[in-house]
């Protein structure tokens, strides 16, 4: 493992980048600008960035390409889950010819709630967390949940974890026997025994607690896992990404980033050896933006000496 790494921005800035997902087959990085309700995709080969603003939505959490469906995407926005075909026409033409296919509407009784982080498991099921967002963008305690959504003769929504504040980072071990989750407000990473076939989780255990590491600032946000089953965790407000061994709880590395608010990470690139980090400029004033010109940009962290795992894609979904 290399102790030398490099960081470079690969996109222009957005307000609050989140939800990175690497489409390995097409060498495309997807991500979102949460409060602008805009989805993005960046092509590694052409270095081309394109975007689409969702209509009639105030936020977006994730955008993930659907397995074996060209240009069809699973999107979680506000409290809606739907399939969207990437617009290759002009916006006006696209709006007239395509209507998103709604799959689920969660927590209708909680109008302040919205989706936050989400990922797909080995069975193609979507795991998606919610939180309660106030008008000033602060988050209320214990207002969210983590759901597993399985598409089998219709969408089934199963609550896996209740009373979360900021449901965030999700990851599974390579053998699919362990599941890892972050509720950011606790400043902890927790692990569960995982039953791959049913998606049931049990035997919660604290894997890593930032309160035991006074040099680590603020809260854990998005998370991914590498080929060694080690976790990579973005620290929101902590201007860093940390590398943790969940088996021992050891803090293995701290990757310092020239941005205060790192929101999430995923591995990508042709060899899955580039760590892409989404970042935010939402909470920075003019002086802060001058000090952090990379804030809001996607950062490529290279030469880490480790590879990630291919991102999983949802199955059994199709546009009509």
- Consult the annotation and say whether 116 binds a ligand: yes
> By C-alpha distance, which of 100, 40, 77, 57 is closest to 276?
40
Q: Is 221 a catalytic residue?
A: yes
Exposure of 235 by Cβ count < 10 A (0-12 exposed, 13-18 middle, 19+ buried)? Answer: buried
Q: Which residues pair with 151 in a beta bridge?
A: 155
**Beta-carbon count within 10 A of 218 CB:** 17
From 221, 226, 271, 273, active-site residue? 221
- Consult the annotation and say whether 142 binds a ligand: no
Instruction: Note whether 8 and 301 are within 8 A (CB).
Output: no
- Consult the annotation and say whether 221 binds a ligand: yes
- Consult the annotation and say whether 88 binds a ligand: no
**C-alpha angle 81/84/89, rounded to 5°?**
155
Tokens for 101, please give them: 């296919």
Instruction: Note whether 319 and 288 are within 8 A (CB).
Output: no
d(Cα 127, Cα 267) in Å, to the nearest integer? 19
d(Cα 118, Cα 222) in Å, to the nearest integer? 10
Q: String of b and e for 157-169 (b: at least 16 CB within 10 Å)?
A: beebbeebbbbbb
Q: Which residues contact 273 (CB under 8 A, 6 or more apart)?
A: 267, 302, 304, 306, 307, 308
Binding site membership for a divalent metal cation: which residues? 18, 168, 221
Binding site membership: which residues? 18, 116, 168, 221
Question: So which residues are the catalytic ones?
Answer: 221
């Amino acid at each position: 493992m290399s102790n030398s790494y490099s960081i470079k921005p690969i996109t222009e800035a957005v307000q609050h980048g989140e939800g990175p997902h690497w489409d390995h087959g097409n060498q495309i990085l997807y991500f979102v600008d949460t409060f602008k309700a805009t989805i993005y995709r960046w092509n590694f080969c052409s270095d081309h960035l394109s975007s689409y603003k969702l209509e009639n939505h105030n936020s977006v959490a994730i955008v993930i390409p659907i397995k074996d469906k060209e240009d069809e995407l699973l999107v979680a926005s506000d409290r809606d889950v739907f399939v969207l075909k990437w617009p290759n026409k002009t916006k006006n033409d696209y709006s007239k010819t395509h209507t998103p296919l709604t799959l689920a509407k969660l927590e209708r009784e909680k109008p302040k709630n919205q989706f936050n982080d989400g990922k797909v498991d080995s069975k193609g099921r979507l795991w998606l967390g919610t939180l309660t967002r106030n008008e000033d963008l602060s988050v209320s305690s214990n207002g969210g949940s983590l759901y597993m959504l399985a598409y089998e003769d219709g969408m089934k929504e199963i609550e896996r974890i209740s009373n979360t504040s900021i449901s965030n980072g999700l990851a599974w071990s390579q053998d699919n026997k362990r599941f890892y989750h972050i509720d950011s407000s606790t400043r902890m990473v927790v692990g569960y025994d995982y039953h791959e076939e049913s998606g049931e989780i049990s035997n919660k255990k604290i894997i890593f607690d930032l309160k035991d590491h006074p040099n680590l600032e603020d809260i854990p946000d998005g998370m991914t896992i590498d080929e060694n089953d080690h976790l990579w965790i973005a620290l929101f407000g902590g201007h860093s990404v940390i590398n943790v061994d969940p088996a021992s709880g050891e803090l293995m590395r701290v990757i310092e980033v020239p941005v205060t608010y790192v929101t999430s990470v995923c591995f990508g690139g042709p060899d899955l050896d580039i760590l892409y980090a989404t970042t935010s400029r939402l909470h920075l004033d003019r002086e802060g933006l001058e000090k952090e010109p990379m804030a809001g940009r996607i950062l490529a962290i290279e030469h880490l000496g480790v590879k990630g795992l291919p991102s999983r894609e949802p199955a059994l979904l199709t546009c009509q």
